[in-house]
A and B are shown apart, each in its own frame.
Chain A
Amino acid sequence: MTLDSMTEPLDVDGVLDNPRTRIVVCCGSGGVGKTTTAAALGLRAAERGRRVVVLTIDPARRLAQSMGIDELDNIPRRVPGIDGSAGGELFAMMLDMKRTFDEIVEAHADKDRARAILENPFYQSLSAGFAGTQEYMAMEKLGQLRARDEWDLIVVDTPPSRSALDFLDAPNRLGSFLDGTFIKVLMAPAKLGGRAGMKFLGVGMSVMSGPLNKLMGAQLLRDVQTFVAAMDTMFGGFRTRADATYRLLQDPGTAFLVVAAPERDALREAAYFVERLAAERMPLAGLVLNRVHTSGAARLSAERALAAVENLDGDGIVDRVGGQAASRTVDDPGTLAPTDLSSPESGFPQPASSGVAAGVASTVTTTDTTDQQHQSAPADAPAARLAAGLLRLHAERMQVLARERRTRDRFTALHPEVPVAEVAALPGDVHDLAGLRAIGERLADRAGAGSARETDEDAPARP
């Protein structure tokens, strides 16, 4: 399967090799292989001669270990075992949120004030990772790494946010909050001392202080006030940094890659992301579509393969699973589909108390392990049954292909201008440099997932 002419293939190597590309941001919803993609891109860029640092947020343990980082220590470490013949180097680091936050405080406040902040209970809760802090700190760290200018290229993975867009909003939200009235109100009593503060703020504060005090308790309000007051001197710095990070993301030297899997939710999120990046005038390089399924026998359709299974079935040798698979063709999700939401139980002969056995016979999901083993064809099964198994697996594959293509087409219809790199699904997990290298090759293969699949995984990296 190759991309249709509608979409342009993403030139991954073009992005990685361009000396003007200084930052690559991988974003997308959770579970689409964002971290793996970031690591694979970093490795590929390094082996093509660039000095690269990969900033990961909360990577899976094995993936982190594959790059030689098993500590959350905020220090970029050199990744051993890469091919440095092109003169490149790879560093990797894992974000330590709290440490990053502490460092900002230490860098921007004098010693006493820094201690007051670091010891404040409200600060401790905030910095230790209330959801959202990760986004700020990831962007902060990105800004720091860029400012150090020690690397040609920074590849950054974005946090697994509730919304993949959160990290874009982080700098702005912080900025607008810092200019906000609320913070002035919060700070006023601490700065001016009780009564004077009230008088100064007039009505606003008298409405405020009562409820806040009662609600939060005097001690918590005091903690927050102390915190805010102590942070006061740093706010100018925060604002400046937030603005700088935002501009950095808009810089032409930044390339956003939206990462997705060919699934409805992930691609919907990807579409939002593409639109949002455009609205923020941030440079989108393209879409990376991970885990795309392919077939070397795509000309044999699912329908025809299943029809052939039925022919074999006529000989009475195909087991029950085959019949079930046959009932779930691409356009007919099966006879179990309820057509009327108001009375779905009519399609489901499953009384709450006793209908279990009846349900099992018609369901695809039988789950007892021994039962499952019983169902798969053994090596000495009749040839027709082996053939039926091959056809059935192929039909399933073609159904997955069709579904993925529909999902992808929906995206490309909305955003035909976005270049796409398809990465063929690997049957197993990736957790070493060889695996990352193979992903990198698939990413860079501009002919798309179809031909990437024919590449020998064990072949050495292309010159």
Chain B
Amino acid sequence: MSRGRLVFPSRLLLANLFVGGGLYLALLVVIACIALGIGTWGDLTSSVWEKAMQFPRWYALFVGVYLIRMFLPVYIAHGRTRRAFAGQAALFLLVFAPVLAVLMTLGYVLEGWLYGVGGWPHALSDEHLFAATGDLPLVFVEHWAHFMVWLAAGALLGAAFYRLGAGGVLLIPVAVALAVPLQSTVGAPRLIPLVSGRLALPLPETTGMVVLTAAGAFLVALLLTWAFVRDMPIRNPA
């Protein structure tokens, strides 16, 4: 095995792409069925894909949690250091977030084609960085930003729960706080259940601010995750 192959977390990425790809295809089919159902028997006036975007974010959070919960022990058990894992994990998140964003953007394209065939209006019902479903660069940027934050917040929660057990709940407000600035810049306060509407910050809703808040939250989340991971004992699986 070459050292170069180890630097890029190819297996980590492929393993997650394999699972994520399957879930994505399932989501596409489900959304297509729902859209066709509403279009055929009801009144389809806006994007169903847009409404479903909650699920990929929770999936991203889950991937972040499992990155620590499942893969960190595997890496340590195979003789990798926490530092080496942290580097690979950060690189993985940096690559995985845009990959997911591309898939979500592609979802809008496919849905747009379906709506075009059915003659339905492919409109948005929530506030976004992008004004129309065809504004693909901004569709990508908004989803990339969300995935960066949710993946990193998941890693933070994974580390907190792994290290503190039930005490990990104390880090949930921190994870929410990391997502709030981005939510505020995107202008869609409903994306985190219950709380974010009340916590929205008066930030400019610009592309630059979206990128900045996403990158900032990502960095803070990773630094906090490292604080937990740097000397974290590996639990006995039994």
Partners in one complex: no
